[in-house]
Structure formats: structure tokens, C-alpha cells
């Protein structure tokens, strides 16, 4: 019997058409998308689909939408072998990270994909992304278990762990990287899976969580940042956590007023998290004098987590726990492959890999 895959269409460039009046791209419905890919009939997978009533540009995605997508997967979990989520690329890394936390104990593939050019355009990257994502969602190992039992992003011949992914290019087809974790698979003539990089199978039932706390913010440090700015940014009522995106291996200014502004927030109960602005590498608080104050005031180092993963993990944990100490502790624990415990992570600036330039 052929494998079954549920396609969940949320929007994004993949299904967009140009508005005849303004030329701006806007989301179209699923029927339009399916019409453009007659090849879907031939992939050898039993394919069914479900769509957001109003497909959206992913810049409009909110935590409630992540919960909606995980709810759809939960409600259909037993019926399908795998899931493909069609999604705009702009915030795909956030959604992939959020889904990885919301779908606890996942043992089936949830593959997010989209495209840089709409599916109806001649040079589109959408068809390959869609068809290969479906193949990966349907793929089984020699024991008949899902080949990729986790949330992943498929784009331009690479399958990446969802909660390790960052969007690195606004125009290139190769729009995503996962700097701190190797690709889970590469698609060429065959799809080659790197089994040592894929999460091990989990037994036990899927638990779909349905709470995310939105009282979390990201504050990007910059040279010259002032205490007054930090006080202003952190003055949002009911703020529970802030991801500080810091320099290099987790550093920031030593300016006493800047440090005092952070202490004031901490004393009000705001959880402070430290994630690096660098696309690869990890936070090591205390390595430089410029991160010692963070360590002293109890800022939680996010190690090699992406900002996307740190933010969505904080939202998720705050949705589950009321105790700040439980959230702080769990931020440092690996829930689903989003963080490497030590420097021996399979951190991946491989010499053969070049960052897209320009």
C-alpha cells in the first residue's frame, strides 16, 4: 500500500499570484496551487490536503497559527504517514522551531517547504521543493518506520532540522542554512539521508501542546545601545522573557547603565536569555569580560540555539510553566535536538560550505 501524506497549505510565495493592478504578490487558494502541479498525481503517494481558509504571507504568522497547524497534525496523526506544510519562507524557521516544541514525542515526518518564486512561474523552485518534500514525508526505513521522525525544512535540495534552521538569503533559491547542525538529507539523483544527524525514533504517543505565551521579546544589541533604550524596550507590561541577541560568543557592552537596565528587568521577574547574533557558533558566557555581567545576573545562555528556536522555546516553556526557575532550567535542556550540550556539537562550518554573498 502506498504511503499517505497530508499537505497543509498555509500560504506563502509558493501559491501566490501577482495582483493585476499593483503587481504585488498575494496568496491564492489551494486549488490554484494543485492545478499548477499535475505531477502530483504521479508521485506514488496517497495525497490529501487541507488549507487555511485564507492563506497568508508568513509575515502574518502568529503563535495562534503555529497552534492551529500543530492541531491539524494532531487531529490527523493516525491517518497519515507524514505531513508537508506549505509555508512562506520568511518566517518558516520560526514556525518549524515552534512546531518542534508543540509536537512532543513526534515520530512521523513534518516537512515544511515553500519557494522563492510562485509555482506558476517558469523558473519556479516550487515544484522540486514540493515533490521532494512529499517523497521525504512518505519515506520509510528498512523497518517500515518513518525515515525522518522530526520537524524539518526542505529547500533547494537540502533537508534541515527545523529548529536549527535560519533563513539566510532573501533571493537565492538556497535560502536556508542550519549552521550548527548538518543537513539531514541531500537530494540529488537519490535522496541521501544522514542517519546520524536525524533524531532517533521515539516510542510513545504524540502530545500536542496548545499553549504559547506571547509575552516574550527579542532585543538586538548594537554598538552604542543605551540603558534608556533597554528600559524603554523592556517596559512592555507583563513581559516574561526577553531574548537578548548578543555579539559573538554572547558578549555585550560593559556600560554600567546598560547593565543596570537589564538588572532592573531581571528584578521585575523578566527572564533574560542570551542568544548570539552570529548565524553559527555558540554562546559561552564568561569567556570574555564583556559577558561576565550576564553570567553574574543569571542571564540564561542559549548555547548554539538559533534566535528563532530560543524565542519559540521560551514562548512554549512559558506556556507550560508558571515557575520562572523551571523555564530557566528547561531552556538549557535539549527537548528535540535544538541545542547541543557541549562544544563537541556537530557545529558545521565545513570548509566546503560557503556562505551566500551579495
- Catalytic residue numbers read 13
For the CB of residue 125, give the shortest distance to ligand ASP in the complex, in Å. Answer: 10
Closest C-alpha to 159, from 170, 167, 148: 148
For the CB of residue 168, give the shortest distance to ligand ASP in the complex, in Å. Answer: 13
Q: Which is nearer to ligand ASP, 59 or 235 (CB)?
A: 59
Q: Which is nearer to ligand ASP, 117 or 239 (CB)?
A: 117
Q: Which is nearer to ligand ASP, 130 or 339 (CB)?
A: 130
Q: Which is nearer to ligand ASP, 97 or 340 (CB)?
A: 97
What gap in Å lies between CA 187 and CA 345, rounded to an integer? 24
Q: Which SS3 state, helix, strand or coil, does residue 134 take?
A: helix
Cell numbers representing residue 191 in the block:
535522496
List the end-to-end C-alpha distance of the chain, in Å, as a whole number. 47
DSSP letter string, 221-251: --TT--HHHHHHHTT-TT--EEEEEEBTTTB
For the CB of residue 317, give the shortest distance to ligand ASP in the complex, in Å. Answer: 26
- Residues 6 or more apart in contact with residue 17 via CB below 8 angstroms: 25, 26, 28, 32, 118, 120
Q: At what angle do helices 307-320 and 92-102 cross, to 10 degrees?
A: 40
Q: Residue of minimal CB distance from ligand ASP?
A: 88
What gap in Å lies between CA 115 and CA 129, rounded to an integer? 7
Q: What are the φ and ψ backbone dihedral angles of 14, each rounded to 5 degrees?
A: -50, -40
Q: Which is nearer to ligand ASP, 60 or 264 (CB)?
A: 60
Residues of this chain that interact with ligand ASP (CB under 6 A) are 11-13, 57-59, 88-90, 114, 116
For the CB of residue 87, give the shortest distance to ligand ASP in the complex, in Å. Answer: 7
For the CB of residue 10, give the shortest distance to ligand ASP in the complex, in Å. Answer: 9
What gap in Å lies between CA 200 and CA 284, rounded to an integer? 28
Amino acid at each position: 500500500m502506498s504511503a499517505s501524506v497530508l499537505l497543509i497549505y498555509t500560504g506563502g510565495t509558493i501559491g501566490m499570484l501577482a495582483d493585476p493592478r499593483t503587481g504585488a504578490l498575494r496568496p491564492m487558494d489551494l486549488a490554484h496551487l494543485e492545478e499548477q502541479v499535475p505531477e502530483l498525481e504521479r508521485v506514488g503517494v496517497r495525497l490529501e490536503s487541507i488549507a487555511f481558509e485564507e492563506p497568508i504571507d508568513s509575515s502574518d504568522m502568529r503563535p495562534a497559527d503555529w497552534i492551529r497547524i500543530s492541531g491539524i497534525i494532531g487531529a490527523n496523526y493516525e491517518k497519515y504517514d507524514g505531513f508537508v506544510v506549505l509555508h512562506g519562507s520568511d518566517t518558516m524557521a520560526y514556525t518549524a522551531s515552534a512546531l518542534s516544541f508543540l509536537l512532543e514525542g513526534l515520530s512521523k515526518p513534518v516537512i515544511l517547504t515553500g519557494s522563492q518564486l510562485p509555482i506558476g512561474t517558469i523558473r519556479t523552485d516550487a515544484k522540486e521543493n514540493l515533490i521532494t518534500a512529499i517523497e521525504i514525508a512518505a519515506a520509510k526505513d528498512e523497518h517500515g518506520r518513518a525515515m525522518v521522525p522530526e520537524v524539518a525544512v526542505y529547500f533547494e535540495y537540502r533537508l534541515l532540522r527545523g529548529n536549527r534552521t535560519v533563513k539566510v538569503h532573501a533571493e537565492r533559491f538556497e535560502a536556508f542554512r542550519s549552521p550548527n547542525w548538518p543537513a539531514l538529507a541531500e537530494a540529488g539523483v537519490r535522496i541521501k539521508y544522514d542517519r546520524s544527524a536525524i533524531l532517533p525514533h521515539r516510542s510513545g504517543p504524540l502530545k500536542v501542546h496548545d499553549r504559547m505565551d506571547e509575552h516574550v521579546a527579542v532585543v538586538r544589541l548594537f554598538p552604542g545601545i543605551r540603558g534608556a533604550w533597554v528600559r524603554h524596550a523592556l517596559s512592555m507590561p507583563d513581559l516574561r522573557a526577553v531574548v537578548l541577541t548578543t555579539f559573538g560568543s554572547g558578549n555585550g557592552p560593559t556600560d554600567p547603565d546598560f547593565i543596570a537596565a537589564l538588572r532592573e528587568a531581571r528584578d521585575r521577574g523578566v527572564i533574560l536569555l542570551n542568544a548570539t547574533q552570529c548565524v553559527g557558533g555558540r554562546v559561552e558566557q564568561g569567556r570574555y569580560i564583556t559577558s561576565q555581567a550576564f553570567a553574574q545576573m543569571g542571564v540564561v545562555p542559549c548555547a548554539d540555539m538559533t534566535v528563532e528556536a530560543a524565542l519559540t522555546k521560551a514562548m512554549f516553556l512559558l506556556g507550560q510553566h508558571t515557575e520562572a526557575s523551571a523555564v530557566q532550567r528547561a531552556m538549557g535542556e535539549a527537548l528535540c535536538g535544538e541545542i547541543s550540550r557541549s562544544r563537541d556539537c556537530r557545529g558545521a562550518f565545513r570548509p566546503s560550505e560557503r556562505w551566500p554573498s551579495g
